[in-house]
A and B are shown apart, each in its own frame.
Chain A
């Protein structure tokens, strides 16, 4: 795979951006500067970055409740995301959505979604729309292992398969649906095997290897763009933190967590880039520092931004007008 040097560096940068963002969210959440729920993406960065590195700005993604990584990888601005988490008017959703609903349709982010599996049929609709409008836009539907057990997975994937829609399902198998292990919730060894039920290709890759994800999703995106229909790509990964911030994680052992921390996708990619001669230690450290500075600025932006006026709660229920 001949990836340009700059693209590889950019992928590393985005992975570090996500991790730095999430670590800071954890800190601000603990300090109660961020309220509600925070489902953090730390440990799964290779999936979002490897997948989205195949997309154009006008392609679509549908995200999940654990969506910060997807949004950043699709080009979401960290300061507007942080402002949304703070409930500020300058946030992506003007403070009306919070962590689980961040959306920016202009750059193809059709929203994080707090209902597990709900994005699956919506992704099919976006893909259908792209085809009807005569574009070659592709939609990536991110979903977790848990979502593959919902009824909508069956309806959504089946219909997209029947209609050869340009959609790629990227399953982030992080082993746990909240507290329930996938081994207790599904008899299959690889969730990509589910693809055969719909007559579409399925592939399982190491979800902590950003280049493996990039390659597998890249093939699927190319296939979708050519009008050849959907693909299921399972990325095996691990969430390093709890289901939500504050989760005591009684359902898994310290040993298991420790073993997966050793497989952290970010140091792994950093090492690989150094071996490839793409990055030096100094370059990598510089990126880490730049991301720290960026997230610091994002927090400052969020803190200094105004809250929406209370009565703004009454706005944005209905769109004005129509197509007369």
Chain B
């Protein structure tokens, strides 16, 4: 099968959905003819689809997301490109008070198929206002689906599914994966990855590692190392979407291993890992042979300096240390 990058996969998903459905359009900053988005993953879309479908805006996050909401409520299927995930904070009212409760407040009458795409994650020396991961923060908002693709295959399939979904979906493009240029197998033909279906990225029998976004790659690296050096076999589960969360896939794996570590690039408090740990403790406690461990970032803003940021981000060594504590 052919191999393409994460960025190419995202580009193809945008392109194919724009071609497939005339109600789809993208609205956001720096997405037009010059840059094709800040990291270039929209390159070529403007030339193919024109300024009426690739709508470049002033720096106006509330107008972008508010505009997407109004367009969605009246029959369109907008993609609001919000740049860095951190900038969701600028338009937080649109997220927590408009987009997500609107259908409910209206008694089920509104349909709001808005996909929010943005760059998340640390690891490129961008400090506290351009490096956040937001899964846990957003998970507490009812009415929002959340996708965090880790591979080119998932990036394409999840984005297409998000655009086609009739609900608001936040889709995180991890900067570190995007900029790594890492390639993966992506079929030529049409496919989607359903929202709410986890993927077993590596099968194993000793410890279940649930990893999100970039952390999937670090968990896989740790798995390789532990297998070689200690003969410990990790099963790496990528939930792919934390909402809806494929709880069953996690429970099925824990049933096999009896041990669970959750790896999440967010400050530990209130992160997605906290919710996953609570669910397993609440609903699958009997399956556990050891305490649940969480490998997260410290509860600080994301620091700038190289050694500080490296220390801040959860990595293979942190994961191996946690695993050694429970096996």
Contacts and interface: CB of A to CB of B under 8 A. Distances in A.
A120 B66 CA distance: 8
B30 to A, nearest CB: 15
A323 B21 contact: yes
A318 B143 contact: yes
Contacts of A323: 21, 77, 113, 164, 166
A267 to B, nearest CB: 36
A38 B18 CA distance: 44
A317 B63 contact: no
B66 A152 contact: yes
B275 interface: no
Interface string A118-129: 101111111111
Contacts of B143: 317-318
Contacts of B97: 114-115, 118
A143 B231 CA distance: 66
A238 interface: no
A270 to B, nearest CB: 35
A43 B151 CA distance: 59
B261 interface: no
A158 B60 contact: yes
B93 A118 contact: yes
B25 interface: yes
A218 interface: no
A182 B113 CA distance: 38
B104 interface: yes
A88 to B, nearest CB: 11
A155 B60 CA distance: 6
Given A60-B74, A159-B60, A322-B166, A125 B108 contact: no
A96 B166 contact: no
Contacts of A128: 55, 67, 70-71, 76
Nearest to B106: A103
Interface stretch (A26-34, A104-112, A168-176, A283-291): A104-112
B107 interface: yes
Nearest to B76: A129
Contacts of B75: 129, 133
Nearest to A62: B70
Given A94-B107, A125-B72, A315-B108, A321 B62 contact: no
A76 B173 CA distance: 43
Nearest to B161: A322
B60 A93 contact: no
A320 interface: yes
A58 B192 CA distance: 35
Contact-size category for A: 35 or more
B105 A121 contact: no
Given A103-B109, A319-B167, A323-B113, A125 B104 contact: no
Interface in B93-131: 93-94, 97-98, 102-113
B166 A122 contact: no
Given A124-B63, A156-B63, A319 B106 contact: no
Contact of A158 (B58, B74, B103, B111): B58
Contacts of B103: 316-319
Given A121-B63, A159-B67, A322-B164, A126 B107 contact: no
A49 to B, nearest CB: 24
Contact of B104 (A60, A155, A317): A317
Contacts of A310: none
A122 B70 contact: yes
B107 A316 contact: yes
Contacts of A123: 70
Output the residue of A60, A120, A123, A155 with the most chain B CB within 10 A. A155
Contacts of B42: none
A113 B106 CA distance: 11
Query: Which of B55, B64, B106, B164 has the most CB atoms of chain A within a 10 A radius of its CB?
Result: B106
A61 B304 CA distance: 46
Contacts of A92: 106-107
B110 A127 contact: no
Contacts of A111: 102, 105-106, 110
Given A97-B106, A103-B109, A158 B63 contact: yes
A132 B68 CA distance: 13
A118 B21 CA distance: 28
Interface string A302-324: 00000000000001111111111
Nearest to B164: A322
Interface in B122-163: 142-143, 145, 161
A133 B70 contact: no
B76 A132 contact: yes
Given A132-B25, A133-B75, A96 B70 contact: no
Interface of A: 60, 62, 91-97, 101, 103-105, 110-111, 113-115, 118, 120-130, 132-133, 139, 151-152, 155-156, 158-159, 162-163, 315-324
24 contacts: A92-B106, A95-B107, A103-B106, A118-B66, A121-B63, A121-B65, A121-B66, A121-B69, A122-B69, A122-B73, A124-B70, A125-B70, A130-B74, A132-B71, A152-B62, A155-B58, A158-B58, A159-B63, A317-B104, A318-B167, A319-B166, A319-B167, A322-B167, A323-B164
Interface of B: 21, 23, 25, 52, 55, 57-58, 60-78, 93-94, 97-98, 102-113, 142-143, 145, 161, 164-167
